[in-house]
């Protein structure tokens, strides 16, 4: 029973944006500065470029099979069993991603906001929220993302704008301060933050007008990448690269340093965290949804509603595995690299094979004709 | 089947809700928090070790850090004694409570204080940390770690250095404000507003401390009279140790050096021909710093443009300022200001404290030089001592107040 | 329990025990046709309806010759009409018939077409139909020897007069509201829509009440699928009594478990017509002074009719204030709790310390304090609704102030709490739709609990939960949060501010109307103010009367 294809271009773009902007927003400047010092904005730019390329490949691949998601058309391209094998990897990866995102979220909350609340509770509340919301259809999924986008984007922009009065642009120079090798790897770390764009593979089959998926993708990268770039610029300008290396969550500190003019509210970081909860929710919701739908398609199940609850304990256990915050970030780094393979290399591989196959087919047809 | 599904879901929901209701872990009522508004840090007396109760560690344990013990004085707000509305009859009771404790580190001392206070300490409203000069000269690095790790502390709090013991500040009762620490904190803020000090808050202090090409600076307070506090200059640091302090007027020069826009300091300038000394006050400054290499050596060119106004003319006869006089005033002001700035640079060069941040300019604009020759903060401190510089100041007097001459 | 269920257990073809339950007997009746014999008919009617003392049987002679009987209920028929329109012309043979010979078969036609002075005459020959019709206030004439009967519409029931609406006050705008009689209500709608596109379909729902239900829509604008869906859902209702439109609403709504209403009830015919013009369907039921509008989206609940009658700045401002009040009524107490109990560092320092002072005397946590006062407010509100008007108004104001003040002095609450709760209540009054305000009032409590457990994080989680629920809700196929999500540029112009009427040339798309043009292309240009004055007068003088465009030139202003 297929849902009607009602996802518009705007909704596709907003879904991508809200999926990309998630829990990675907080440590983003730290990653960028670790890799590139004051050249962090430049590295971010490189990372955005790599991510854009990845999205481009995924979209192009999806457009060739605009009725199917990557789970189903990978079977077409690679053959039934090989395709299923790789799809399993995708599913496992995205479950891990969901779990890690929830865990990172919980870690920030219990460190910076609610100090006494047990970690399990914060994580499970978020996962439960995502699970209950994941029972909806694809269209509602798009509506939800579409709705929350202004709430996510506006406060971040406002905070960046308000904080710029403390900016010292000397901190941002020199623009490029590490060699090619370091830059590239740094950019990879940044690109790993854009992994949410893989959700495009799920959206394309439900779009009203799949041809405009490419446009939606460009807009999504433009806006989310622009936001990330702004954040990195602002934090580096205000704190300086050295100081950022000492902070786990520079974006949070940025919100803390800002205050509304007139001192109406003083610690804006609490407001920022509330908004960020929404951004994290959309991201976790999206990856959870992706996991569930992929499982549904891989195993040819009828309905994903029960599955949403069923997967919950597994993801929760995965989320609780890292023992402490240091271990957590190590795992995230590894997962990020793995993610690049899954979200960029694998689609590239599929695309190449697909292109070759269709060329062979065309040759075969022209021979027969 | 559907009945089972419903049941299953309901049970799950019930379990989850029950587990959530077991506690509101973080809830702590506002009146049950001991809100600390200000902290003062002094060096403890030498026999303080014996005074210390064994709260955090047993006597003789070998993990105790070896540094000098500190004495922490905190000012806590008492709920209810600081009313919002108009006061009916001046309250005799003090709205704040002052507590002291000693400890090896800040956290140590705070835990000692907590031992004496019934409600949990809350640092979210901490606005002011006062460090005694001696403590600062020994190094502030030992405090910054705690302050950074604690999520309750806001980066917009103010850090100041005091001449006297910090605990004296906690006990002052200024006339203008009901809560003393708020008065102090507001003083720091208004200093910035009035142009008497460049923007400073603890976050900025940390940023500058971490940066490779600049040394941090903090306001320096002194108590005058019984309950008045005066800003007595600027304390400059080398690394995390305080190495000197400027006179108050030199802060103006410093602000010129770093390009703080709001002007606030005034100079008496004499006009040679007339028997008049004119008080000229700076209103705005614009600074351009140019870092370059001259003969293989680093060189800084400081170009400052002042905009001033005449505030007062001191003379016996009625004043009569003409346009040419204005030009003379401008020139004299420029030369006075240049002198002041250069003196300040020399002073800081002696102690290798680059509070102006020239190092940052080099690091940013001449990265090759920086990466090859300098690399670390220590190296730059040495190079700064012999840095060649040129100061050019231009002044424009735009306003003369309401009086026509 | 439904009376008719027992029917299935009876064997078919058993004798009707008429003296037991008439309606059952009516359904099982074997010989349904009218016999020509008056006696059997009279006896049948007396068995059916004779138990009631207001059932009348009048024997008379038509034209002095034919034996006939009148059946009617005296309480629901108009005595004057029976006398003047039925008995008088029938008893008195008119001139033009004096010489005519007619057979019994022709008599009926003659009576109906030439004699009776009534415009609502019909013929019938089924007994159950006749009984039903008598119960509706019509008068049945049975003539000896003729197997058809005539029934004449003589219904007269006292009605309320049309007054101003009680729940939907408008400052600028018409003041008519619906009454209980469906005929008058439909008349009010038809008066505003003299177009052949207006379609009114009637059905009967409810076994006991047999309420007339009508579905109104504008053909060519309303979406066909919605109309069909409405008809389908109504036809599936099988209930004994339909007393109010609310009964129907509960059967046809998409999600009965959601706190948010998925239909909108309105007392105002002008609002109904405005919604019909956008493509909605209106359902009316006899006996209820409310019309039900479907499909519905959330932002309708904070729009009032006033918004559209007033100028756009005024309307937009009022709407913004309303939205703020809505937000307030939902999260203000929870925000207060989370600031006080979890994150006091958000408040300015002096304020925080002062609030702490206010709370110092209260013995329990902020959550409990807020809960107690909230519950007290809710009880107070219910009480004021029951009170007669003179006492009720004073009680609410005095109640809040005095009780609040007393509570503060007794140490049960802090002054800030009372202010917060008062603002919240006022905020919830500002929402125009009573049902939606109720939904938000209810939802305040779960969010309060979450805030008490998690602080600001809890508030955010609760809000996300509510939004997600609203986003997944659909009303007759239309997503509840349109036009915000999915976006629709025309609809968006009406969400936060009320755009001027000339900026909204198309109907909002979420209702998927068949015809989207609202404004004509050429005519609606804004007055060019620079040209007002001499230029305009010139145009008029030169004979350029532009008034002829408005369709009917008739001045039939009735």
For position C191, what pLDDT does the model report?
Answer: 92
For position B48, what pLDDT does the model report?
Answer: 59
Given a cut of 90, is residue C21 above it in pLDDT? no
What integer is the mean pLDDT of C466-485?
83
Q: CA torsion angle for A179, A181, A186, A187 (degrees, to 10)? A: 100
Distance from CA of A117 to the nearest CA of C (A): 8
> How many percent of chain C have pLDDT more than 90?
6
Given a cut of 70, is residue B382 above it in pLDDT? yes
What integer is the mean pLDDT of B232-239?
84
Given a cut of 70, is residue A291 above it in pLDDT? yes
Given a cut of 60, is residue C11 above it in pLDDT? no
> Taking CB atoms and an 8 Å cut-off, how many pairs form between chains A and B?
73
DSSP codes, B18-74: HHHHT--TT---GGGEEEEEEEEEEEPPTTHHHH--SSSS-TT-TTS--SPPEEEEE
Cβ of C350 within 8 Å of Cβ of B125? The answer is no
Residues 141-170 of B with CB under 8 A from C: 152, 154
Residue spans per domain, chain A:
9-357
pLDDT tens digits along A120-137:
888 888 888 888 888 888
Given a cut of 90, is residue C283 above it in pLDDT? yes
Query: Which chains form contacts with chain C, at 3 or more CB pairs under 8 Å?
Result: A, B
Given a cut of 70, is residue A326 above it in pLDDT? yes
Closest chain B residue to C455 measured between Cα atoms? B27
Given a cut of 90, is residue C215 above it in pLDDT? yes
CB count, 10 Å around CB of B142?
A: 17
Contact in structure between B274 and B315 (CB atoms under 8 Å): yes
What mean pLDDT, rounded, does chain B reach? 77
**C191 vs C343, residue with greater confidence:** C191
Contact in structure between C388 and C400 (CB atoms under 8 Å): no
**A210 vs C535, residue with greater confidence:** A210
Distance from CA of B199 to the nearest CA of C (A): 20
User: Does ipTM come in above 0.90?
Assistant: no
All structural domains of chain B, each given as residue ranges with its CATH number in brackets, are: 30-245 (no CATH), 249-399 (3.30.300.210)
For position C292, what pLDDT does the model report?
Answer: 92
Q: Is B17 on the interface with A (CB under 8 A)?
A: no
Residues from A contacting C (CB-CB < 8 Å) are 6, 8, 10-11, 109, 113-114, 117, 122, 125-126, 129, 132-133, 136, 139-140, 142-144, 146-148, 263-267, 270-271, 273-274, 277-278, 281
pLDDT tens digits along C51-69:
888 888 888 888 777 888 8
Residue spans per domain, chain C:
31-153, 182-296, 310-479
Burial of C125 (0-12, 13-18, 19+ CB in 10 A): middle
For position C489, what pLDDT does the model report?
Answer: 66
- Rounded Cα–Cα distance for residues C368 and C374 (Å): 10
The superfamily CATH assigns to domain A9-357 is Amino acid/polyamine transporter I (1.20.1740.10)
What integer is the mean pLDDT of B363-387?
79
- Rounded Cα–Cα distance for residues A325 and C199 (Å): 67
**C527 vs C99, residue with greater confidence:** C99
The answer to which of A53-57, B163-167, C350-354, C397-401 has the lowest mean pLDDT is: C397-401
Longest distance between any two alpha carbons in chain A, whole Å: 79
Q: What do you get for the CA distance between the two ends of chain B, in Å?
A: 97
For position B390, what pLDDT does the model report?
Answer: 84
- Rounded Cα–Cα distance for residues B31 and B36 (Å): 13
Given a cut of 70, is residue C1 above it in pLDDT? no
Given a cut of 60, is residue C544 above it in pLDDT? no
Q: Is C257 on the interface with A (CB under 8 A)?
A: no
Of B150, B234, B248, B159, give the one whose Cα is nearest residue B204.
Answer: B159
Given a cut of 60, is residue C549 above it in pLDDT? no
Residues 408-437 of C with CB under 8 A from A: none
Element of type H or E holding C283: strand C281-285
Given a cut of 90, is residue B121 above it in pLDDT? no
Contact in structure between C346 and A266 (CB atoms under 8 Å): yes
For position C282, what pLDDT does the model report?
Answer: 93
What integer is the mean pLDDT of B324-341?
81
Shortest CB distance from C359 goes to which of B27, B31, B82?
B31
- Rounded Cα–Cα distance for residues C3 and C22 (Å): 12
Where does the pLDDT of residue C284 fall: very low under 50, low under 70, confident under 90, or very high at 90 and above? very high
Q: Is C346 on the interface with A (CB under 8 A)?
A: yes
Cβ of A115 within 8 Å of Cβ of B26? The answer is yes
Where does the pLDDT of residue A37 fall: very low under 50, low under 70, confident under 90, or very high at 90 and above? confident
The answer to which of A223-232, A316-325, B125-134, B314-323 has the lowest mean pLDDT is: B314-323
Given a cut of 60, is residue C253 above it in pLDDT? yes
For position B60, what pLDDT does the model report?
Answer: 59
Cβ of A133 within 8 Å of Cβ of C468? The answer is yes
Burial of C56 (0-12, 13-18, 19+ CB in 10 A): middle
CB count, 10 Å around CB of C553?
A: 9
Contact in structure between A145 and B56 (CB atoms under 8 Å): no
> How many percent of chain A have pLDDT more than 70?
93
For position C373, what pLDDT does the model report?
Answer: 84
What integer is the mean pLDDT of C78-103?
79
What mean pLDDT, rounded, does chain C reach? 79
Where does the pLDDT of residue A1 fall: very low under 50, low under 70, confident under 90, or very high at 90 and above? very low
Cβ of B82 within 8 Å of Cβ of C367? The answer is no
For position A263, what pLDDT does the model report?
Answer: 58
What integer is the mean pLDDT of A24-50?
83
- Rounded Cα–Cα distance for residues A127 and A308 (Å): 10
> How many percent of chain C have pLDDT more than 70?
83
Given a cut of 60, is residue B3 above it in pLDDT? no
For position B175, what pLDDT does the model report?
Answer: 66
C312 conformational bin, left if phi > 0, alpha if psi -120 to 50, beta if neither: alpha
Q: Which long-range contacts (CB under 8 A, 24 or more apart) does C171-174 make?
A: C171/C306, C172/C306, C172/C309, C172/C310, C173/C270, C173/C305, C173/C306, C173/C309, C174/C268, C174/C269, C174/C270
- Rounded Cα–Cα distance for residues C123 and C106 (Å): 13
Where does the pLDDT of residue B151 fall: very low under 50, low under 70, confident under 90, or very high at 90 and above? confident
Q: Is C347 on the interface with A (CB under 8 A)?
A: yes
Given a cut of 80, is residue B268 above it in pLDDT? no
Where does the pLDDT of residue C285 fall: very low under 50, low under 70, confident under 90, or very high at 90 and above? very high
Element of type H or E holding B7: helix B2-21
Cβ of B31 within 8 Å of Cβ of C344? The answer is no
**C392 vs C220, residue with greater confidence:** C220
For position B26, what pLDDT does the model report?
Answer: 67
């Amino acid at each position: 029973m297929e849902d009607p294809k009602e996802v518009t271009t705007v909704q596709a773009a907003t879904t991508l944006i809200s999926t990309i902007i998630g829990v990675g927003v907080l440590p983003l400047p730290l990653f960028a500065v670790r890799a590139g010092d004051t050249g962090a904005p430049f590295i971010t730019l490189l990372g955005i470029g790599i991510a854009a390329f990845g999205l481009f490949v995924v979209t192009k691949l999806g457009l060739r099979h605009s009725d199917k998601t990557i789970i189903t058309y990978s079977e077409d391209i690679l053959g039934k069993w090989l395709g299923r094998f790789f799809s399993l990897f995708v599913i496992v990866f995205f479950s891990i991603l969901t779990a890690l995102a929830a865990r990172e979220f919980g870690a920030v909350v219990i460190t910076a906001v609610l100090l006494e609340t047990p970690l399990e509770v914060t994580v499970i509340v978020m996962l439960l929220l995502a699970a209950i919301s994941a029972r909806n259809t694809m269209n509602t999924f798009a509506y939800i993302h579409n709705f929350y986008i202004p709430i996510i984007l506006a406060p971040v922009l406002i905070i960046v704008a308000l904080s710029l009065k403390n900016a010292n642009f000397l901190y941002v120079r020199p623009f490029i301060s590490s060699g090619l090798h370091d830059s590239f790897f740094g950019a990879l770390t940044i690109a790993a933050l854009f992994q949410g764009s893989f959700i495009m593979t799920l959206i394309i089959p439900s779009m009203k007008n799949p041809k405009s998926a490419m446009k939606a993708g460009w807009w999504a990268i433009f806006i989310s990448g622009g936001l990330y770039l702004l954040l990195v610029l602002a934090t580096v300008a205000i704190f300086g690269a050295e100081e950022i290396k000492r902070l786990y969550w520079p974006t949070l500190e940025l919100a803390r340093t800002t205050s509304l003019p007139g001192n109406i509210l003083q610690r804006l970081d609490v407001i920022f965290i509330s908004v960020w909860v929404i951004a994290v929710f959309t991201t976790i919701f999206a990856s959870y949804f992706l996991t569930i739908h992929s499982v549904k398609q891989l195993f040819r199940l009828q309905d994903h509603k029960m599955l949403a609850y069923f997967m919950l304990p597994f993801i929760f256990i995965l989320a609780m595995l890292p023992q402490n915050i240091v271990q957590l970030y190590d795992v995230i780094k590894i997962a990020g690299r793995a993610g690049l393979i899954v979200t960029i290399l694998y689609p590239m591989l599929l695309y190449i094979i697909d292109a070759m196959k269709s060329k062979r087919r065309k040759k075969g047809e022209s021979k027969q004709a | 089947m559907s009945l089972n599904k419903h049941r299953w879901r309901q049970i799950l929901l019930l379990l989850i809700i029950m587990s959530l209701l077991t506690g509101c872990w973080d809830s702590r009522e506002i009146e049950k928090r001991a809100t600390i508004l200000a902290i003062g840090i002094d060096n403890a007396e030498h026999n303080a070790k014996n005074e210390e109760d064994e709260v955090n560690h047993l006597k003789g344990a070998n993990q105790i850090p070896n540094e000098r013990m500190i004495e922490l004085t905190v000012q806590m707000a008492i709920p209810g004694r600081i009313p919002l509305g108009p006061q009916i009859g001046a309250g005799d009771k003090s709205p704040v409570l002052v507590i002291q404790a000693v400890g090896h580190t800040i956290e140590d001392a705070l835990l000692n204080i907590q031992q004496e206070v019934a409600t949990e300490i809350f640092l979210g409203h901490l606005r002011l940390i006062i460090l005694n000069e001696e403590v600062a000269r020994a190094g502030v690095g030992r405090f910054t770690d705690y302050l950074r790790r604690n999520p309750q502390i806001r980066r917009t709090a103010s850090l100041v250095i005091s001449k006297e013991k910090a605990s004296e500040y906690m006990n002052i009762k200024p006339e203008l404000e009901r809560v003393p620490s708020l008065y102090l904190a507001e003083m720091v803020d208004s200093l910035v507003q009035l142009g008497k000090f460049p923007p400073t808050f603890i976050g900025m202090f940390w940023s500058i401390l971490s940066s490779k090409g600049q040394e941090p600076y903090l306001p320096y307070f002194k108590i005058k009279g019984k309950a008045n506090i005066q800003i007595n200059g600027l304390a400059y640091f080398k690394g995390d140790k305080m190495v000197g302090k400027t006179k108050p007027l030199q802060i103006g020069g410093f602000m010129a050096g770093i390009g703080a826009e709001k002007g606030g300091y005034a100079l008496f300038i004499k006009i040679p021909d007339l028997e008049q000394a004119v008080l000229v006050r700076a209103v705005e400054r614009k600074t351009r710093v140019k870092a370059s290499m001259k003969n293989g050596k680093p060189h800084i060119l400081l170009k400052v443009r002042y905009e001033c106004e005449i505030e007062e003319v001191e003379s016996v006869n009625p004043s009569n300022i003409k346009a040419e006089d204005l030009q003379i005033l401008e020139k004299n002001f420029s030369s006075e200001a240049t002198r002041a700035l250069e003196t300040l640079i020399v002073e800081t060069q002696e102690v290798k404290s680059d509070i102006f941040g020239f190092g940052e300019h080099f690091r940013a604009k001449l990265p090759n030089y920086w990466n090859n020759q300098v690399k670390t903060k220590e190296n730059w401190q040495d190079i700064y001592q012999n840095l060649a510089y040129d100061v050019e100041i231009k002044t424009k007097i735009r306003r003369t107040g309401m009086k026509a001459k | 329990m439904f009376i008719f269920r027992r029917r299935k257990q009876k064997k078919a073809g058993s004798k009707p025990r008429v003296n037991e339950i008439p309606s059952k007997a009516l359904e099982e009746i074997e010989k349904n046709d009218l016999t020509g014999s008056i006696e059997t008919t009279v006896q049948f009617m007396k068995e059916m309806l004779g138990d009631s003392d207001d059932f009348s049987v009048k024997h008379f002679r038509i034209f002095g010759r034919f034996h006939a009987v009148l059946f009617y209920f005296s309480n629901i028929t108009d005595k004057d009409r029976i006398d003047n329109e039925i008995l008088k012309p029938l008893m008195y043979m008119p001139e033009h018939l004096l010489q005519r010979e007619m057979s019994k078969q022709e008599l009926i036609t003659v009576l109906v077409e030439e004699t009776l002075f009534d415009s609502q005459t019909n013929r019938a020959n089924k007994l159950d139909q006749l009984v039903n019709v008598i119960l509706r206030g019509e008068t049945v004439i049975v003539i000896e020897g003729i197997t058809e009967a005539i029934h004449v519409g003589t219904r007269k029931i006292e009605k309320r007069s049309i007054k101003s609406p009680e729940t939907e006050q408008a400052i600028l705008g018409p003041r008519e509201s619906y009454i209980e009689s469906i005929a008058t209500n439909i008349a009010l709608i038809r008066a505003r829509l003299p177009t052949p596109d207006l379609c009114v379909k009637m059905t009967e729902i409810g076994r006991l009440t047999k309420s007339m239900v009508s579905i109104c829509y504008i053909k060519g604008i309303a979406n066909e699928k919605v109309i069909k869906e409405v008809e389908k859902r109504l036809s599936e209702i099988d209930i004994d009594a339909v007393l109010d439109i609310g009964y129907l609403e509960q059967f046809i709504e998409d999600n009965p478990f959601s706190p948010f209403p998925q239909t909108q009830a309105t007392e105002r015919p002008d609002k109904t017509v405005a919604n019909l013009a956008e493509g909605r369907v209106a359902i009316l039921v006899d006996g209820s002074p409310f019309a039900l509008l479907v499909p519905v989206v959330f932002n309708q609940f904070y729009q009032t009719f006033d918004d559209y009658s007033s100028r756009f700045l005024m309307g937009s401002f009022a709407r913004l204030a309303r939205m703020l009040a809505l937000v307030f009524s939902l999260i203000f107490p929870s925000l207060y709790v989370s600031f006080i109990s979890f994150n006091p560092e958000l408040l300015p320092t002096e304020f925080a310390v002062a609030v702490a002072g206010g709370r110092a005397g209260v013995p329990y946590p902020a959550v409990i304090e807020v809960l107690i006062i909230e519950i007290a407010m809710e009880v107070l509100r219910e009480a004021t609704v029951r009170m007669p008007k003179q006492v009720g108004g004073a009680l609410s104001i005095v109640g809040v102030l005095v009780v609040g003040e007393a509570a503060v002095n007794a140490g049960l609450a802090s002054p800030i709490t009372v202010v917060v709760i008062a603002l919240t209540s006022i905020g919830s009054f500002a929402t125009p739709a009573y049902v939606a305000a109720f939904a938000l009032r209810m939802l305040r409590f779960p969010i309060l609990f979450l805030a008490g457990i998690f602080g600001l994080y809890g508030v955010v989680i609760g809000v996300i939960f509510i939004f997600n629920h609203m986003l997944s809700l659909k009303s007759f196929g239309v997503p509840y949060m349109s036009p915000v999500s999915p976006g629709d540029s025309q609809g968006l112009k009406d969400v936060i501010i009320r755009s001027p009427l000339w900026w909204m040339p198309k109907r909002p798309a979420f209702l998927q109307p068949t015809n989207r043009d609202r404004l004509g292309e050429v005519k609606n240009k804004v007055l060019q103010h620079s040209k007002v004055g001499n230029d305009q007068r010139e145009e008029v003088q030169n004979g350029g009367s532009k008034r002829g465009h408005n369709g009917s030139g008739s001045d039939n202003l009735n």
